[in-house]
Structure 1
Amino acid sequence: MSEWMTPIPFRELMTWITTEYQSEGSVFGVHRPYRAGVKKLPIFGETIETPFGPAAGPNTQLAQNIVAGYFAGARFFELKTVQKMDGAELAACISRPCILAEDECYNCEWSTELYVQQAFEEYVKAWCALKILSRVYGLGDPSGFVFNMSVGYDLAGIQGEKIDSFLNGMIDAGETPIFRECIRVLKEFFPAEEEYIDAITPHISGSVTVSTLHGCPPDEIERIASYLLREKHLHTFVKCNPTLLGYETARTILDEMGYDYIAFDDHHFNEDLQYKDAVPMFRRLLALAEEHGLEFGLKLSNTFPVDVKAGELPSQEMYMAGKSLFPLTTAMAARIAREFDGQLRLSYAGGADYFNIDKLFGCGIWPITMATTELKPGGYQRFSQIGDKLDALDFAPFTRVDVEGVEALARAARSDKYHVKAVKPLPRRKLYEKVPLIDCFTAPCKGGCPIGQDIPEYIELCRQGRYASALRVITEKNPLPFITGTICAHRCQSKCTRNFYDEAVQIRSTKLVAAERGYDELMAELAQPAPADSCAKAAIIGGGPTGMAAGYFLGRAGIPATIFEQSGQLGGIVRQVIPAFRISDAAIDKDAALVEKMGVEVRLNTKAPSVAELKVRGYTHIFFAVGAWKAGRLDIPGNVVPVIGWLKDLKAGREVPLGHVAVVGGGNTAMDAARAALRAGAKSSTLVYRRTKKYMPADAEELELAIRDGVTFLELVSPLEQKNGRLLCEKMRLGEPDASGRRRPEPTGETVSIDCDTVISAVGEQVESELFTSNGIHVDSRGIPDFQTNLENVYAGGDAMRGPATVVEGIADAQAFANAVIGQARTFKMPPHAAASRESALAKKGVLCESAKCEGDRCLSCNVVCQVCADVCPNRANVVIRLPDGRHQILHVDRMCNECGNCAVFCPYDSAPYRDKFTLFLDRKGFEESVNNQGFLPLGGGKVLVRLAGEVFEADLAGDNPLPADIEILILTVLNQYAYLIG
C-alpha cells in the first residue's frame, strides 16, 4: 500500500462520472441524487440551496469527494485546510491509520496531504464539475452552492507566496491552466452546452475560515483575520477551539455523559485563546468586517485534542469529534450567542448529523458542516436524507441566533441518547473471519450468531407479512423461537451494521413476532417425520433448551430420541429459574410443543440412567445437556443464599428471605435476582460488584432494565460479612487489566456498609461434575468435559460443556450433536423472495431512522448489498465492480487511497479492505511498494502484472494464464468496463 493520493486528471474524472451515471445512475458510488427545490439562502454574496455540507477534512480533499458530496445533497463545502507545510513534508507527520470513527470520532490529521497547488487544482476541478453536473443532470441551480476556503495556521505562512497564490487563484482562477483545461474538457463532453460552459465563473471562492492550531496566540488570530478581511477582501469566519469553554466545564460535561475515559489535561486550555481575550477580539473583527462590507462570524468548533491512551491511533495525541463534541460545541454556541445577544453569526461543526441538524438550523446557526457522520456506513449518501429534512423547514436570511433556543439545545444534548455514551463499552462489532478476496458481501448479524441464523431473510419475510414462512426459516436452525425470541442474548444485534446509523435492528423481537404470528400455521402443517434409514438412537440427558433443541433436530431427521428430564416440565433453568416477568411458561410451552411434534419421547420426572445402562438399552448416542445448577460459593459469614435456589423457590411460589437484599455479582442472573427481589417486596435491592458497571458481564440491555427498575448499584466493593442487618464491604479500586481484559479490582483497606438482611450470591454457577466423573467421563480443571467426550458416541453441550452458556450457544451444540448422529448436515431451500432486492437494499443506505413501521424497513439487507468499505471511503478508493454474471465485487484503487483506515473500522470482517481486497495499481512503483496487497498492474496489450497468494507474475489475458477464473474475470471486467479507473 502507498499512502500517496494521486489526483485524477479532469478528463478521467469526467469520464468516470458520466460513464457511471449512464450505466448505474450513480456518481462515485452515491446512488440517490439529491435534487434541490427552489429555496435558497444568501451567504457571502452568493446563494446555497441547502445550508449544509462537508467540513474541512477527509471529505473535501479531492475533487471526487466534493462531487460525491454534492450529488448526495451538500451545497456548502468547507474545503480542506491549506497551509505552508504540504505534500511529502506534511504526509510524513501523519500517522497511519489516521481516522477512527467507530463511535465518537478521532483523527490525527489536520491539513490537506496534497501540495497546495494540487489542492487548488482539485478545488477548481470540483467547481467546474459541479457547475456542469448541476445543469445537465438536473440536480439544482448551478449557482446554488458555495466553496469556503480554510487556511492556517500563521500569518507569515498565509502571506507567503504559496498560500497567497492559492488565495488569489481561488478568488479568480480564470487565467490558470487548470481552469482553462476544465473548460476545454467540458466542451468536449457537452458540446451542446458550450455557451453555458464559457460563462462558468472562475471566481471559485470569496470566503475563508481561519483554522488555528492549538496554542495560536490571540493577537496572531486577529492579525490573520484582519489581513483576510482588509487585504484579501474575503468574508471571514474564525474557527474556535472547544478549549474556549475552559477545562473544568469540558471535563464536567464529558464525565457526566460517560466520556470519563477520554484523557486530556489543562495545558491546551491554558495555551489556547481565552474567553476574556476572545470576546473583545471578535467585536473588533465584526466591526472591521462591517467597515469593509463583508461578513464575519465564528465557526464552532474545531476538533478537541485528547491523549491516546488505549492505542486508538498510532500517535500520542488525537483530535476528538462527532457525538462527544456536540455537547461541548453547543455549550460554546450558547455562551457566545448570549454574549453577543445572537448578533454574531455562527457557523457550526461538531457532531452535527441528521438527528440534530434541524435543531441547529432552527436556532439560526448555519451553515452547518460535518465530517463524522459521512465517515460512517452510508457515507456521503447520508446527505440526501439531511437535505430532505431541511427542505421541509422555512428558509430565511440570517438575522440573529436564537439565544434561548441554543441554550435549550445545549442542555438537552447532555442527556440526548444519540450523544450520551453507553454505560458499558461497545461490544466487538467485527466477525473473527478474514475478508475473502472476492465474494465478500456478508450479513454480519448472521456471522455473529452461534447458529448462523438466516436473519436478513426472516426479517424480510416478516416485512412482507409472511410470518409462517419467516418462522420456517427460523426453525430450520432454531427450534426454540419463543425462548430465543424473548431472552436470547442476541449477539447478532451487536454485529448489526445499523448500530453505526442509530441503533441495531431489533432482531430478537422480530423473531418473536414471527413466532407469535406464524406459529399456528406452522404447527398445522407439521407432521411427525418418517423414520430415518438408520440404526441410531439417542438419549438426551436434560430437558432444558439444549436438550430440547437436540431432540428437535434428531426427531426432524427421523432419529429416535429420548429426553430424560428429572423435573416435571421441559425448559430447565429457563423454566424454573428465570423470572416470569422475563419469560412466561406459555412461551416455553409452545417451544416444547414444537419439539414434541417431531416425535421426540419425553420422560419427565425421570433421572437419567447411567451411560452404561443407556447403552445396554440400545441407545447408540448419548448427549449430556444438563444445566449449571450448582451454586458458586461466596465465602463470607452471614445470611447468604445461592441465587439459583433463591430464584427457583421464588418462581415456584415458595417463601424466600427478603428484607433489605444485596445481590453479589454482575451477570444477567444477578440482574434477574435484583429485579425479582424488588417485585417480591424487598425493602431495597442493591447489586454489589467489585468493579464498575462498565465491567459487569451482564448484557447492556439487562443492566439498563435493572437501573430502570430501581435497583441500587454499589460499585467497587467486595463483601466481607453480613451481620445484624448490615453488609460490610471493602472498598476497591481499579488496577491494570487482567487476563479477562477488565481492570483488576484491588483492595484499598477502607470499608463501607449498607442495610442488608439477605445476601444473594450470584457468582460462578457451575455444572455438577460428579455426573460426568461417575460415568467415567474426563473433565477439565473447571469440572466440565469436551464436546466429544472420551467415551465413544458420548457428547456434552450447552452448560454441560461450556459452563453457564447462552440458549443459542446450547442450540449450536445441539445441532453439532445431531449432525454427528445423523452423519451429515441438513440442506434447506430458502422460501422464494426471502431476500430483498438490490434496489431496495441500496435505497436504505445512508437513511437513519427515528421510527419505522417494522424492523424490516430498518434492516439494511447486508446479505444482498454490503459494500460498507466503498460507502465509508472518503476518497472513493474502494469501488464496486459489477461482473458479467451479475455479481458485485470490491476493487481497491491504490492511487486514490491515503491509508486513513476508515474502511478497516467498518468492514464487518476482521480485516482492512485497503490492504486485504484485490487492488488496482497505477504504476510499478506503487505495485512494488505494496508488498502485502494482492492485485494487478495493467501493462498494456492485454497483459497484467499480478500479485496473488504470495506470488508475483505476468499474465496474458489473451491466452493461457495461471489466474483463477474469478480473478481473471474481475481483471477483464475492470480493463473493459471500468477503464476510467486505470489512469
Structure 2
Amino acid sequence: MSDIMRPISIEALLNWITEEFKRNGTIFGIRKFFKAVPKKTLSLFGEQMETPVGPAAGPHTQLAQNIIAAYLTGARFFELKTVQVIDGEELPVAKPCINARDEAYNVEWSTELRVPEAYDEYVKAWFVLKLLSREFDLGSPDGFIFNMSVGYDFQGIQSSKIQTYIDDMKDASSTPIWEECQQAARKLLSKFTRIDESYLTQISPNVSRSITLSTLHGTPPAEIERIAMHLLKEKHLNTFIKCNPTLLGYEYARKTMNQLGFDYMEFDDKHFVEDLQYEDAVPMLARLQKIADGQHISFGVKITNTFPVDIAQNELPGKEMYMSGRSLFPLSIAVAKKLSDAFSGKLQISYSGGADIFNVKEIFEAGIWPITVATTLLKPGSYQRMDQIAGVLASLDYPTHVAVDLEKLSSLVTKANTQARYQKSIKLPITPKMDQKVPLLDCYTAPCRGTGGCPIHQDIPAYLRYVSEGKYLDALKVIVDKNPLPFITGTICAHPCETKCTRQFYEGAIDIRGVKLEAAEHAYDELMATLKKPTRRENAAKTAVVGGGPAGISAGYLLAREGMPVTVFEKADTIGGVCSQIVPEFRISMASVQKDVELAKLMGAEFKTGQAAPSLEELRAQGYENIIYAIGAWKHNNLHLEKGTAINSLEFLKATRENPNANPYGEHIVIVGGGNTAMDCARVAKRLPGVKKASLVYRRNKRNMPADEEELYLVIEDDVEFLELLAPVSLENGKLTCEIMELGARDASGRKKPMPTGRFTEVLADTVVAAVGEKIDTEFFQALGIHTDARGRVLVNPETLETNLKGVYVIGDANRGPATIVEAIADATKAADNICEIHNKNYERANFNIDRAVPRAKRGLLVAEDHSMTQSERCLECSTICESCVDVCPNRANVVIQVGGNPQIMHIDRMCNECGNCETFCPYASAPYKDKFTLFNTEDDLYNSTNQGFYVVDPEKRICLVRFDEQIETIILSEGNLTIPNGLLDMMETVIEDYAFCLAN
C-alpha cells in the first residue's frame, strides 16, 4: 500500500482499454457509454463541446483513466487538476484526503504528480479520447474541451516548469509524449476497427487553449490581477478566475450555514478578511474583461474555489479542510447571483459547487455554463452519474451567447435556501457501516440486513424485489420466515436497516419499513389462508412465555411454528404489550397489532390474558420445562425536582390511550426528555382537548437528542414547541424553572456536553411528564434467584439468553433495557433456537437466480422526486451487486474480476493514492484499499506495503510473490499451495490468464 500513483504508459493504457472491452464490453469498469446528440454542440473558446458538463479540477481529472471514464459517461468539458510549482513528493497532502459521506471535505491542493507527469497524463487522455470518440462513435472527435488549471502565485506560474507546461498544452506536437502516443497507436492499430493511419496524423496536438486560475485563499487581489494579465496578454489564453464564497462576507456565510443545519461547521472570519473582497473583485473583473475583449478571447469566473472550514472532529488529518457538495451549493449559487447582478448577466460563469442531477438543469437554464462536478462523482454510482447529468443537459436548447437570466438565478438562490435537499439532518449521523471486516473474497453484501442493520437479518433485498414485481405473497413469506410481527414492524419499527441502506448516498434511503407494511397489507389474508397449523411434536417440552408484548408474541410464534407447545401469559386484557397499551393509537392501531397476534395463534401459540402469570415454581409444577420472561422494562427513572413532581411517561401514555378525550393535565404540558417515548408523549399531549401548548424540554439541542430522526420530524410537524438547552430544576405555581445550558467541548461520542450557565428561565407548565427512561425490574428477577450485574441487568448467556437457572430465559426489554421491537424479535429467536432449532432460513437470497445486469443498471441512476420509480424498485440489490468501492474510486484502482463466473474485487496498488474514498462507502468497517487482495506491479511495491496481495514474477511460469496472513512467499500456481485459500489462487490464475492487461506498466 502506497499513496504514490504510478501512471500507466500510453501503450499499456490502449492495450488495457481494447482488451477489457473485448473481454467484458467495459472500459475501466464503465458499462454504459454516452453517445452525444449528433451535430449538437455549444461553442466556447472557439472550440466545441457536445455537453456543457464534466469533472471539476480534482480527483477525477488527475490521471488519464479518470478522464477517460468521465468522457465515456458523457463529460465533454474537463477542468484538469491544478498544477503548481510545488509538486510530487514536495506537496504536503495528508492521507486520507477525501471524506464525501454527505457534504464533502478534502485536504487536497493540486496534482500529486510531478508537473511533467501530469502533463503526460493530460496528453494521453486527450489522445485516447480522440480515438474512443471515433472508434465507438460516441461523438465528434472535436466535441470536447480540455481546460487547464494553474495556481497559485505569479512567481510560481512564471517558473520554467509551469511555463513549459502551459506552452506544451497549447501545442504538444514537439513533446516526447506526443510521439509516444502516435507510436503506441500505430503499434496497436489492429485492435481498432475505425482508426487508421490517416486518422492518427489528423489528431490535433493543441490540447488546451484555455486556463482557470486557481487562487489559493489569501492570494492578494493585485497578485490575482497580475497573473490574469499574464495569462491573457502574454499567453493569449481564454481565462477563468476562481472566485469563492468569501465574496459573500462572513456574516452571510455563517448565517446561511446555520439556517440550513450546518451549524456544526467551524470557521471564523479569517479567510473572509484575507481573501479577495467583493468591492475589489468587481472592478478588477471589469478591467480584465476589457483586456480580454481587446485580445478577442474569452474571460470569466469559475465558481467556486470550495470553502475552508476547520477540522474539528477528525474528519481528515490536519487543521483545515475544504468543504464542497450540497452544503456548498447555497453559497456558490449566491456568489453567482451577486456577480451576475454586478455585470447585468453578461459575465461568463464556469460553475461548480454542489452541482448535481437535482439542480444542473436549472443552473444551465439560468445561463450558467460550463458546469463541472466532483462531489456527486465521489459517491456510489460515481462516473455513471455523469451519464444522467449529460443526458439531461443534452436534451435542452443550447444558447448561442452568454446571457445569465437574473430572474431564474434569483429563483435558484431562493430554492437553495429553502429546499430540504440543501438542509442538513437535524440528527447526528449514524454510521452506515457494519461492524465487521471485509472478506478477501465474496464480499458482496446488503448492509441493510447485516450487522448493525436488521437485528434478525431479514433478506430485505429479496422481499423488496418481490414487492417491485407485485408478488406480495412471496414477499410476505420472506418476511414472516424470520419476522413474526409484519404489521407491528411494518408500522413502528425503528428501521435500523434504513441507516445502512446504500441508497442514502443517492437521494435518500429506501422506505424499507413501508415496503414491509405494503406486503403485509396486500398479502395477509392470502397468507393466512395458505398457512397450516404445524403438527405438534411428540413429547416436546412445554414452554411458558411470561409477557405478551412483541418479544413474547415472537417467542410464541417461533416455537409454535416448530411444533412446540407454548403458552403466552399476559396480565393485561389484550395482547401486545407497549404496542397495545402505550404506543398511541394514531401511530399503530389495535387492529394491526391483533393481526400479528392472530398469526401466532394460527401457528398454535396459546395466549392467556387478564391475570398475572403463575410463579416460576407453579409453572414448573405445571410441566413447563422452559420459561421465557418477556416482561419488558416498565419501571421508570425519576425526574428529580427541587419542588413539585412529574408524572411518569408510561403512565401518561397508558391513560391517554385508554381515554384520549380526557384531559386532567391542563393547558400547558411539558415533557422532559429527548427519546422516542418523549416524542410520543409530546404528540399525544398536543392532541388532548384544551391543550394550548405542548413543549419538549431537553438539556441538549435537537441534533443531540437520542430520538430517531423520523420521530423528531413528526413532532415538528405536530407543532410541538422545542425548548432546547434547558435542564429542569423545580415545578411551582404552574411554572417549570429550568437552568439554561450551553454546549461545551465534544465528548467521546462526538456530542457536545451540556454545561450549566447559572442562568435560569421559566416555562409555563400545568403538568410535567418525565420521559427520562425506563429500567428493568431488577428486584423481580433477583427474587426468582436470577443473577444480575452491578447495574441491575440480568446476566444471561449472550448466545442463548438463558440465565443461571436452567431452562429460564430473559428476552426483549427485560434483557436489554428499553430497546426496539426488532431487537425483541432477535432475542425471541435466540431463546427459541436454543429450545429447539428454529428453521428461519427458508428464503435466503442465495436461492435467487438474478441477472446482475439489472441491479447494475440502477447504479448511478438518481431518482428525482417526480420519478415514477417505487420504493421497492429503488433497491440497489447490494447482496447481488455491491461494487461501491469500484464505483467511488476516481482512479479505478478497485476492479471487478470474474473468477469462475463469480465477481470478485481486486485492488490495484499502482493506481491508488490512498484518498480514502472507498473506505467511506464500503459497507464493512474496512478500507478496501488496505483490506482487499491487492495486485502489485513491482516487487518493491509489494514489500513497501502491508496489504495482502501478489506480484506476478513470471506470468508464463505462473510464478507469483504473495503476501498472505503477514507471510510472504514465492509460489508456482500450477503446483497449488496448501497455505493460501483456493479462491485466492484462482484469482491470481484468472488475472494472469484473463486480465493480463492489468499487469503491464
TM-score, scaled relative to structure 1? 0.98
Q: Contact 2:244–2:332 at 8 Å: present in 1 too?
A: no
Report the counterpart of residue 384 of structure 2 in structure 1.
381
Residue 937 of structure 2: SS of its match in structure 1? coil
Change (3 A) 1:835 1:551: farther
From 233, 254, 258, the counterpart of 1:255: 258
Report the counterpart of residue 118 of structure 2 in structure 1.
119
From 598, 602, 609, the counterpart of 1:597: 602
Q: Give distance in 2, aligned partners of 1:267 and 1:678.
A: 46
1:569-604 CA-to-partner distances (Å, cap 9, x unmatched) read: 111011111011111111111101111011011111
Which amino acid letter does the alignment assign opposite residue 4 of structure 1?
I
Report the counterpart of residue 647 of structure 1 in structure 2.
653
Q: Give distance in 2, aligned partners of 1:147 and 1:595.
A: 66
Q: Give distance in 2, aligned partners of 1:883 and 1:823.
A: 36
Residue 164 (structure 1) shift: 1.1
Q: Give distance in 1, aligned partners of 2:485 and 2:849.
A: 23
Q: Contact 1:445–1:455 at 8 Å: present in 2 too?
A: yes
Residue 230 of structure 2: SS of its match in structure 1? helix
Report the counterpart of residue 857 of structure 1 in structure 2.
873
Residue 358 (structure 1) shift: 0.5
Which amino acid letter does the alignment assign opposite residue 196 of structure 1?
Y
Q: Give distance in 2, aligned partners of 1:389 and 1:593.
A: 51
Report the counterpart of residue 940 of structure 2 in structure 1.
925
Q: Contact 2:787–2:794 at 8 Å: present in 1 too?
A: yes
Report the counterpart of residue 967 of structure 2 in structure 1.
951
Q: Give distance in 1, aligned partners of 2:404 and 2:749.
A: 50
From 466, 479, 482, the counterpart of 2:484: 479
Structure 1 segment 117-156 matched on structure 2, within 5 A:
117-156=116-155
Residue 266 (structure 1) shift: 1.3
Q: Give distance in 1, aligned partners of 2:390 and 2:338.
A: 28
Relative to structure 2, which stretch is displaced further, 465-474 or 626-635?
Answer: 626-635
Residue 202 (structure 1) shift: 0.7
From 658, 664, 684, the counterpart of 1:657: 664
Q: Contact 1:257–1:421 at 8 Å: present in 2 too?
A: yes
Counterpart check, 1:757 vs 2:766: yes
From 883, 886, 903, the counterpart of 1:888: 903
Residue 490 of structure 1: SS of its match in structure 2? coil
Structure 1 segment 342-361 matched on structure 2, within 5 A:
342-361=345-364
Q: Give distance in 2, aligned partners of 1:821 and 1:736.
A: 49
Report the counterpart of residue 428 of structure 1 in structure 2.
431
Q: Contact 2:553–2:568 at 8 Å: present in 1 too?
A: yes
Structure 1 segment 960-979 matched on structure 2, within 5 A:
960-962=976-978, 963-979=980-996
Q: Contact 2:446–2:877 at 8 Å: present in 1 too?
A: yes
Report the counterpart of residue 847 of structure 1 in structure 2.
861
Report the counterpart of residue 867 of structure 1 in structure 2.
883
Residue 882 of structure 1: SS of its match in structure 2? strand
Change (3 A) 1:188 1:161: same
Q: Contact 2:459–2:843 at 8 Å: present in 1 too?
A: no
1:269-295 CA-to-partner distances (Å, cap 9, x unmatched) read: 111111111111100110010001100
Report the counterpart of residue 51 of structure 1 in structure 2.
52
Counterpart check, 1:707 vs 2:706: no
Report the counterpart of residue 33 of structure 2 in structure 1.
33
Residue 143 of structure 1: SS of its match in structure 2? coil
Q: Give distance in 1, aligned partners of 2:238 and 2:30.
A: 32
Residue 963 of structure 2: SS of its match in structure 1? strand
**How many pairs does the alignment contain?**
979
1:62-107 CA-to-partner distances (Å, cap 9, x unmatched) read: 00000000001111000000111111111xx111100000111111
Report the counterpart of residue 301 of structure 2 in structure 1.
298
Residue 83 of structure 1: SS of its match in structure 2? coil
Q: Give distance in 1, aligned partners of 2:278 and 2:838.
A: 72
Which amino acid letter does the alignment assign opposite residue 909 of structure 1?
Y
Residue 852 (structure 1) shift: 3.5
Report the counterpart of residue 60 of structure 1 in structure 2.
61
Counterpart check, 1:203 vs 2:206: yes
Q: Contact 1:649–1:656 at 8 Å: present in 2 too?
A: no
Which amino acid letter does the alignment assign opposite residue 141 of structure 1?
S
Structure 1 segment 449-528 matched on structure 2, within 5 A:
449-528=454-533
Report the counterpart of residue 237 of structure 1 in structure 2.
240
Counterpart check, 1:213 vs 2:216: yes
Which amino acid letter does the alignment assign opposite residue 664 of structure 1?
V
Q: Contact 1:835–1:864 at 8 Å: present in 2 too?
A: no
Which amino acid letter does the alignment assign opposite residue 583 of structure 1?
I
Report the counterpart of residue 724 of structure 1 in structure 2.
733
Residue 715 (structure 1) shift: 0.7
Which amino acid letter does the alignment assign opposite residue 664 of structure 2?
P
Counterpart check, 1:394 vs 2:397: yes
Change (3 A) 1:684 1:145: same
Q: Give distance in 2, aligned partners of 1:188 and 1:107.
A: 40
From 595, 612, 615, the counterpart of 2:617: 612
RMSD, aligned α-carbons: 1.4
Q: Give distance in 2, aligned partners of 1:517 and 1:777.
A: 44
Which amino acid letter does the alignment assign opposite residue 100 of structure 2?
A
Q: Contact 1:456–1:835 at 8 Å: present in 2 too?
A: no
Q: Contact 1:643–1:760 at 8 Å: present in 2 too?
A: yes
Q: Contact 1:364–1:402 at 8 Å: present in 2 too?
A: yes
Q: Contact 1:540–1:624 at 8 Å: present in 2 too?
A: yes
Report the counterpart of residue 916 of structure 1 in structure 2.
931
Q: Give distance in 1, aligned partners of 2:749 and 2:14.
A: 53
Report the counterpart of residue 798 of structure 2 in structure 1.
none
Change (3 A) 1:37 1:741: closer
Change (3 A) 1:534 1:325: farther
Which amino acid letter does the alignment assign opposite residue 894 of structure 1?
D
Residue 25 (structure 1) shift: 2.0
Q: Contact 2:242–2:302 at 8 Å: present in 1 too?
A: yes
Unaligned runs of 5+ in 1: none
The percent identity for this pair of structures is: 51
Q: Give distance in 1, aligned partners of 2:707 and 2:441.
A: 38
Residue 230 (structure 1) shift: 0.9
TM-score, scaled relative to structure 2? 0.96
Q: Contact 1:919–1:934 at 8 Å: present in 2 too?
A: yes
1:752-790 CA-to-partner distances (Å, cap 9, x unmatched) read: 112110111111112322321221112223433133211
Q: Give distance in 1, aligned partners of 2:125 and 2:758.
A: 65
Residue 386 (structure 1) shift: 0.6
Residue 728 (structure 1) shift: 1.1
Report the counterpart of residue 681 of structure 2 in structure 1.
673
Report the counterpart of residue 77 of structure 2 in structure 1.
76
Q: Contact 1:460–1:836 at 8 Å: present in 2 too?
A: no
Q: Contact 1:460–1:834 at 8 Å: present in 2 too?
A: no
Unaligned runs of 5+ in 2: 796-800
Report the counterpart of residue 626 of structure 2 in structure 1.
621
Residue 434 (structure 1) shift: 0.6
Residue 397 (structure 1) shift: 2.0
Which amino acid letter does the alignment assign opposite residue 718 of structure 1?
A
Q: Give distance in 2, aligned partners of 1:824 and 1:595.
A: 15
Residue 438 (structure 1) shift: 0.9
Which amino acid letter does the alignment assign opposite residue 12 of structure 1?
A
Q: Give distance in 1, aligned partners of 2:580 and 2:752.
A: 35
Q: Contact 2:663–2:688 at 8 Å: present in 1 too?
A: no
Report the counterpart of residue 22 of structure 2 in structure 1.
22
Counterpart check, 1:822 vs 2:830: no
Report the counterpart of residue 12 of structure 1 in structure 2.
12
Report the counterpart of residue 820 of structure 2 in structure 1.
806
Residue 410 of structure 2: SS of its match in structure 1? helix
1:826-849 CA-to-partner distances (Å, cap 9, x unmatched) read: 441448985642111110001111
Q: Give distance in 2, aligned partners of 1:216 and 1:134.
A: 39
Which amino acid letter does the alignment assign opposite residue 607 of structure 2?
V
